[in-house]
């Protein structure tokens, strides 16, 4: 794993459970092998399996479209779920958190939640300059995405007359509302592979086109993902494959009554990585009464908000802590220069990145002392290849865990029910019965009320 600068440490992964690593591996080797074979041998054109080929895609068309996007002052990206979180994760991890406040162009705005205040604020930020609108939806029917797409398109049309030449849609290659709109309007269009689900789509055009427009090296991201793919697909032993061990551990702790999977990176640049993981994990595995609830935490911030619960609360969580060895810029604490501050002299010349590393170690040690199970991961630096490797690792490990749980990690029946209710309540034709049913279920909520 050295060429990817990612390492995995499982010595604290059993908590208070009385089980040797040798016995654990023996118990899970066959199940891991079956799940790995399923992922490796299922054709990538089968529904849900297309993500496994994304590290090998040709990026020429993506780059050409991104060069067009570079010519705008601002990009408004409209999407939700996997069509949004992946972009936020790439941008935060690899660009400055304050990209939009600097002199860099184009600015990037993500319109995900259909919150009218946020929608208006985005438009106020961009309306004085040139604007490109990017809509991402495989069907072109997602209510949250399409409502905002229509709103921004009208604003752009009123501003310059014909907005279609400033619009890019990323959608199904053959069907759907966005596909029909692109044929009608002549706007730019990129394909979403039909066998790739939204939460697994960050390494497709959905995530990469805006990333390249903002200056991110997408070839390096895919190179890292490809290296991780090679490692995970070719290491067919639980002794050498970290995803086999991690998947088995997650399943083991679910069965032992730990229904929560906490991911806690020690880097502000990885806050949206944790958000992206939460959707990937929760939507892939929460089915048929199974799965574990993803919990996002951020070190060292959540040492002061959650670690009290993690160490002294119920033993119902399985932790993954991610330590970043090199944070980039070095920031040193100056020596104390006055008597009232002398008690802080222990911080003289301390480097903040190293301090964050020591805090990660302290949290891990405190958890292990309390018998809380954890995986410790380390990465040398958060660059494009490493991020690509982490993305593929978590996609693979999630899919493998789902297979080992006996569920389909690529569908989302619970989400679809909510979508149907929304369509019905919004008056979409063909969903009248869903509207009636939603109202009936919602009526039960107001059966017991208290107004103050």
Order the strands of the 374-381 sheet from edge to edge: 6-9, 374-381, 317-326, 260-265, 293-296
Q: Which of 144, 275, 283, 395 is catalytic?
A: 283
- Report CA-CA distances (Å) from 18 to 24, 127, 244: 10, 62, 20
Catalytic residue among 77, 138, 419, 420: 419
Residue 47: active-site member:
no
Confirm whether 439 is a catalytic residue: no
Is 234 part of the annotated catalytic residue set?
A: no
CA pair distance 192, 142, nearest whole angstrom: 15
Crossing angle of the two packed helices 413-425 and 432-445, in degrees rounded to 10? 100
Give SS3 for 402.
helix
With beta carbons less than 8 A apart as the criterion, state whether 185 and 167 touch.
Answer: yes
Phi-psi region of 176 (alpha: psi -120 to 50; beta: other; left: phi over 0): left
Give the C-alpha separation, 452 to 450, whole Å. 7
* Two tokens, residue 43: 């054709």
d(CA 210, CA 121): 20
Buried b / exposed e over 47-81, threshold 16 CB at 10 Å, is: ebbbbbbbbebebeebeebbeebeebebbbbbbbb
Q: What is the CA radius of gyration of the chain?
A: 23
Ramachandran category for residue 332: left, alpha or beta (phi over 0 → left; psi -120 to 50 → alpha): beta
Residue 332's CB is within 10 A of a number of other CB atoms, namely: 13
Cα–Cα distance measured from residue 245 to residue 435, given in angstroms and rounded to the nearest whole number:
45
User: Could you say which of 158, 304, 342, 444 is catalytic?
Assistant: 304
- Are 140 and 146 in contact, with CB atoms under 8 Å apart? yes
H/E run at residue 362:
helix 352-369
Asked if residue 106 has a cis previous peptide bond (ω within 30° of 0), the answer is yes
Q: Which residues are catalytic?
A: 283, 304, 419
């Amino acid at each position: 794993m050295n060429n990817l600068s990612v390492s995995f440490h499982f010595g604290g992964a059993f908590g208070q459970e009385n089980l040797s690593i040798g016995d654990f591996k023996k118990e899970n080797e066959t199940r891991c092998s079956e799940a790995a074979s399923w992922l490796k041998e299922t054709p990538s054109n089968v529904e849900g399996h297309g993500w496994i080929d994304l590290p090998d895609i040709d990026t020429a068309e993506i780059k050409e479209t991104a060069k067009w996007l570079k010519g705008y002052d601002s990009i408004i990206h409209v999407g939700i779920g996997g069509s949004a979180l992946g972009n936020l994760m790439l941008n935060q991890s690899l660009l400055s958190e304050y990209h939009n406040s600097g002199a860099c162009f184009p600015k990037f705005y993500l319109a995900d939640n259909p919150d009218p205040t946020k929608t208006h604020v985005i438009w106020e930020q961009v309306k004085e300059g040139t604007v490109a609108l990017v809509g991402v939806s495989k069907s072109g029917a997602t209510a949250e995405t399409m409502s905002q797409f229509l709103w921004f398109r009208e604003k752009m049309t009123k501003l310059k007359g014909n907005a279609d030449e400033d619009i890019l849609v990323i959608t199904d290659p053959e069907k759907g509302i966005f596909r029909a709109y692109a044929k009608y309007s002549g706007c730019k269009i990129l394909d979403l592979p039909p066998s790739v689900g939204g939460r697994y789509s960050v390494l497709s055009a959905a995530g990469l086109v805006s990333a390249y427009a903002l200056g991110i090296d997408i070839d390096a991201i895919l190179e890292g993902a490809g290296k991780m793919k090679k490692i995970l697909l070719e290491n067919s032993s639980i002794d050498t494959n970290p995803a086999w061990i991690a998947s088995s551990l997650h399943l083991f702790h679910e069965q032992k009554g730990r229904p929560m999977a906490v991911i806690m990176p020690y880097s502000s640049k990885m806050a949206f990585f944790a958000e992206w993981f939460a959707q990937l994990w929760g939507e892939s595995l929460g089915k048929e009464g199974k799965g574990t609830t993803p919990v996002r935490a951020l070190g060292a911030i959540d040492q002061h908000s959650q670690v009290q619960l993690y160490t002294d609360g119920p033993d119902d969580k399985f932790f993954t802590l991610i330590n970043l060895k090199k944070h980039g810029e070095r920031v040193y604490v100056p020596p104390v220069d006055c008597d009232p501050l002398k008690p802080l002299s222990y911080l003289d010349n301390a480097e903040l990145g190293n301090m964050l590393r020591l805090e990660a170690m302290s949290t891990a040690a405190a958890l292990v002392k309390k018998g809380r199970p954890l995986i410790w991961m380390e990465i040398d630096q958060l660059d494009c290849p490493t991020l690509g490797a982490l993305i593929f690792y978590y996609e693979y490990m999630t899919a493998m865990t789902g297979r080992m749980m006996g569920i389909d990690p690529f569908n989302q029946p619970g989400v679809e029910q909510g979508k149907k209710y929304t369509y019905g309540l919004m008056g979409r034709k063909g969903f009248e019965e869903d509207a009636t049913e939603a109202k009936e279920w919602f009526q039960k909520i107001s059966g017991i009320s208290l107004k103050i």
